[in-house]
Chains A and B, each alone.
Chain A
Amino acid sequence: MYINFEVAVKFLYVLIILNVVFVAAVYAIKIKRLRRTRIERRFEVKFKDYFTYVLVNIEGKEPLQAPPFSLNKVEQEILQERLNDMIENFTGTPREKGKELCQRLGLVHYHLDRLKKGSYAVKIDAAYHLGCMRVQEAVPDLLQLLATHKLNSSLFVIARSIAKCARNEQDVKEMVKLLLSHNKGFYDLLVDMIKEADIEHGALFAEFIQRDSNEYILIGLCGLRDYTEPTVASAVYRLIDSEDRMIQSMAVEIYFKSVHFIPRNVVQKLLQHPLDELRVLTIGAIADQKLVTYIDVMKNALLDESKRVSAASAKGLLLLGEEGIATLCGVTAEVRGSEQGEYLQMLIEEELKFLSVQLHDLVKLTRYNSLAYHYEKTLGKNKRIYRVV
């Protein structure tokens, strides 16, 4: 027991020392932070005129001059942050002049040096700043750092910096290759980073979808998601038959966005797909493009086993004019009494209710009249609905 007590007392001393160390550390951090905040406030005042000068001359022909006074370390850090923001937010000449100013201030050289010789934390910090300043000379060292880095948030900081500094498409491809070795499906993040590179993104994504690797195809598809050119439709067409569900559904989505007319064989193939999500997409595309020629297809889809598809088809037919509305009401009357029929009738009545308060809109008024007419003709035997003129 005596020994335990001795041990406890010694342990207590160690604990007290550790507590004191932590208290000191916490206060030291706080005081340092408060001091920095004060310097930041002073910096705002001291640099106000200088930043006015920078903003006025950012688009001029003359190069931007360095501040006319010496900077301490904290001031240099704050100035660096401001210039980073400026380079990030501007494009064209202002961005180039911002980069040039960083060069003149020695910031580029300083961070290149840190990237080569610093500790791990310093290297990450340097990588970030070099990325912000778009320093192309940094790419080889950044790629080297990326190749040996483990998977965590800092990995993406380095990767983004490479994209920003990229000299050409090859640098971006190298970065993508290194990141894909982690195999974690961060395609959207990758695409977001690639878009920071000063290269032809669309061409790169189109090249990716031609590859055999599903990972590259997924990156390409993520990148092409917001493209609407017809060339994209032909590029993704072959992927509509992909065995990978994710690739297939993304390809279909992009295809519908970028195509001007959907061939019948594609419509028929997709409406037989087991995934109701794809069937809904197809019906949505027909409705969006107002392809009246596919009313027969939409008619069949009304009785689809999935309520999502059925509802999408009903809503789609409502957008396909008089003929679409007549088809919808006709099919609903045919299956009257069944669960499907009740559901379709409910959808029609809801739409009528909704349109009845939107009569200030000419398109909706026309649709209301047409729907009311066909509803009354086929379904509304007990309820008279008046057309609005």
Chain B
Amino acid sequence: MRLLEYYLQQAMDFLRDFLLGYGYFAMYYGLIITFIYFLIFGLSIRHTYPLQRGIKYNRVRKLSGSEHVPPVSILVPAYNEELMIKENVRNLLALNYPEYEVIVVNDGSKDDTAKIMIDEFQLKEIKPYVAKHIKTNMVRGYYHNPEYPNLYFIDKENGGKADSLNAGINLSHYGLISTIDADSLLEKDALTRIARVYMENPEDTVAVGGNVRIVNSCTVEDGMVKNIRFPKKMWPALQNVEYIKAFLGGRIGWSSINGLIIVSGAFGVFQKDKVIAIGGYRGGYPGEDMNIVIKLHRYCLKNNIPYHVGFCPDAVCWTQAPDTYRILSSQRMRWGRGNLKNMIEEGIHMIFRPRYKLFGWLTIPYNILFETLNPYIRLSGLIAMIGYWLLNMADWKTVVVFMLVNFFSCFILSLGALFIEEKAFSRYPKLSDLNKMMLYSFLMFLGYRQVGVLWRFMGHIDFFRNNNSWGTMVRTNFNK
């Protein structure tokens, strides 16, 4: 009996020591992540002022008529996009940009995407010269109509988004390519705004990301966002504040130190020759938008090529956010899988390698430790909390204080993003919109962030089970 008590005591002591050790680990983990968050947010806020000056004092309207703006090939991969493709293409054909082409790539859609494109724009099959920069799945045909001289349509076998983009690259005629999702709408001057950033440093700028905003509840007419409104439904509203925080609070700062790891697939511009040099988009897995940027960093750093991955927050692309739990969870699980795959495929080869400089010493470690492994830390933290409570290791005051510290240190980041939004852009005109943004920034902490961790964890499970499907995706018309 005494022996049993002795071993039980030993086990309890071990558990206490372990939990105490874990507590220190979790505390330092939290401190480091908070420090990095604050650092990036500080940089974002610091760079808001020069950004604001760049936006205010550069006459974009005049630049959009200049013959010195670089021509761009816009690539639009489309899979089962029959509901939105027409509006999207009309939107793209009406951009204020001097020289560009729109290449829509139908990725073997099962619906009427191809038929709608061909009928709507009276396209005829052509046999153009197509470069073979990147290998792709079989192309069924290339279509064009001289009445829409800058519109091309590629109909190909299903091969995924990356494969479609690669097919578009092969056909493209210009030195810059822009990728745009078929469920998104570009603002008329978005491409000019991005081009301005590119023109300021064309030799080094290998990619520039645009800002993605949520179109749900906004009024769309003739492919243009007319009346900007804060989303009425809960899920899009939560994603709205999340996007503002990620794009304005995060990407401005990361880009200022050339550590940006992702250019959103919804809207970005790339130097075509660099994309070809790294073998184009990686197919077969989600997260191709992050993958291409990591590969660009890797290629340039490995070959000592001066480069910069920029971010242009005033170049806006409006996208439809999932408005149901099912679609949102599917999207986030896919993102989780993509992130894990990218870290396994690229990240571990770059982490803490001196040749990859800041990207290898800060961006990749941050991403692996605080993004990829985040669900494990969070879930183990929850279990540890239960352990502290059961073993009487923490009183309620300590728990409350630490939870409040956690809440306020995260909430201030949301406020920082709203500060940047209001200071530099103020896209939502009403005071009530700001009230809603404040409210949803607060509500994010009551379940949304937690469920986000769970989705990412489930995405990892899918990854290990080799579930590689795109998941649930339902499209609705704009204005719904």
Contact = CB atoms under 8 A, between A and B. Distances in A.
Chain B associates with chain A:
yes
Interface string B190-203: 00000000011111
B10 interface: no
Interface stretch (B75-83, B384-392, B401-409): B401-409
Contacts of A350: 126-127
A301 B351 CA distance: 50
A218 to B, nearest CB: 11
Interface in B54-86: 54, 56-59, 62-63, 66-70
A48 interface: no
Nearest to A196: B62
A311 B126 CA distance: 14
B404 A12 contact: yes
A225 B67 CA distance: 9
B52 to A, nearest CB: 10
B434 interface: yes
Interface string B399-432: 0011011001101100110110011001001010
A214 B178 CA distance: 30
Nearest to A5: B398
A283 B131 CA distance: 18
A350 B141 CA distance: 13
Interface string A98-120: 00000000000000000000000
Interface stretch (A140-148, A152-160, A170-178, A328-336): A152-160
Interface string A6-39: 0011011001101100110111011101100100
Contact of B412 (A15, A188, A311, A346): A15
Nearest to B397: A5
Given A5-B398, A19-B415, A189-B200, A27 B434 contact: yes
B412 A22 contact: yes
Contacts of B416: 22
Contacts of A202: none
Contacts of A41: none
B155 to A, nearest CB: 17
A26 B418 contact: yes
Given A5-B401, A19-B412, A121-B53, A33 B422 contact: yes
B438 interface: yes
Contacts of B409: 15
A125 B230 CA distance: 32
Interface string B353-374: 0000000000000000000000
A185 interface: yes
Contacts of B66: 192
A186 interface: yes
A8 B58 contact: no
B399 to A, nearest CB: 11
A26 B431 contact: no
A186 B126 CA distance: 37
Contact of A188 (B58, B70, B415, B423): B70
Contacts of A185: 201-203
B129 A308 contact: yes
A163 to B, nearest CB: 13
Contact of A186 (B53, B62, B201, B431): B201
Contact of A18 (B49, B401, B412): B412
B50 A152 contact: yes
B95 interface: no
A23 B409 CA distance: 14
A128 interface: yes
A360 interface: no
B53 A184 contact: no
Interface string A218-236: 0000100110000000000
A128 B127 CA distance: 50
A207 B70 CA distance: 24
A84 B302 CA distance: 47
Given A12-B401, A153-B51, A153-B54, A26 B419 contact: yes
Contact of A153 (B50, B62, B126): B50
Nearest to A153: B54
Nearest to B423: A29
Contacts of A347: 127
A306 to B, nearest CB: 10
B50 to A, nearest CB: 5
Contacts of A192: 63, 66, 68-69, 199
Contact of A29 (B50, B63, B69, B422): B422
Contacts of A308: 129, 131
Contacts of B59: 88
B426 A30 contact: yes
Nearest to B20: A1
A25 B434 CA distance: 12
Contacts of B419: 22, 25-26, 29
Contact of B68 (A22, A125, A191): A191
A188 B68 contact: yes
A33 B426 contact: yes
Nearest to A157: B57
B68 to A, nearest CB: 4
Contact of A124 (B57, B70, B199, B204): B57
B200 A19 contact: no
Given A188-B202, A191-B68, A8 B412 contact: no
Given A25-B419, A30-B426, A307-B129, A9 B50 contact: no
Contacts of A18: 408, 412
Contacts of B438: 23, 26
Contacts of A25: 419
A8 B405 contact: yes
Contacts of A128: 56-57
Given A19-B408, A154-B50, A346 B422 contact: no
A26 B415 contact: yes
Nearest to B132: A307
A9 to B, nearest CB: 6
Contact of B129 (A23, A152, A189, A311): A311
Nearest to A32: B422
Given A25-B419, A222-B68, A30 B200 contact: no
Contacts of B423: 29
B191 to A, nearest CB: 15
Nearest to B393: A1
A346 B127 contact: yes
Interface string A333-349: 00000000000001100
A281 B66 CA distance: 23
Contacts of B127: 346-347, 350
A15 B38 CA distance: 12
Contact of A8 (B50, B63, B199, B401): B401
A190 to B, nearest CB: 9
A185 B409 CA distance: 42
Contacts of A29: 419, 422-423, 426
Given A186-B202, A189-B68, A88 B62 contact: yes
A225 B201 CA distance: 20
Interface in B249-293: none
A153 B405 contact: no
B404 A189 contact: no
Contacts of B67: 225-226
Q: Which 5 residue pairs spanning A and B have beta carbons closest together?
A: A153-B54, A22-B415, A185-B203, A15-B408, A188-B68
7 contacts: A16-B408, A34-B431, A185-B202, A307-B129, A346-B127, A347-B127, A354-B126
Given A8-B402, A30-B431, A184-B202, 13 more contacts: A8-B405, A15-B405, A18-B408, A19-B412, A26-B415, A29-B419, A34-B431, A125-B57, A154-B50, A156-B200, A185-B203, A186-B199, A354-B126
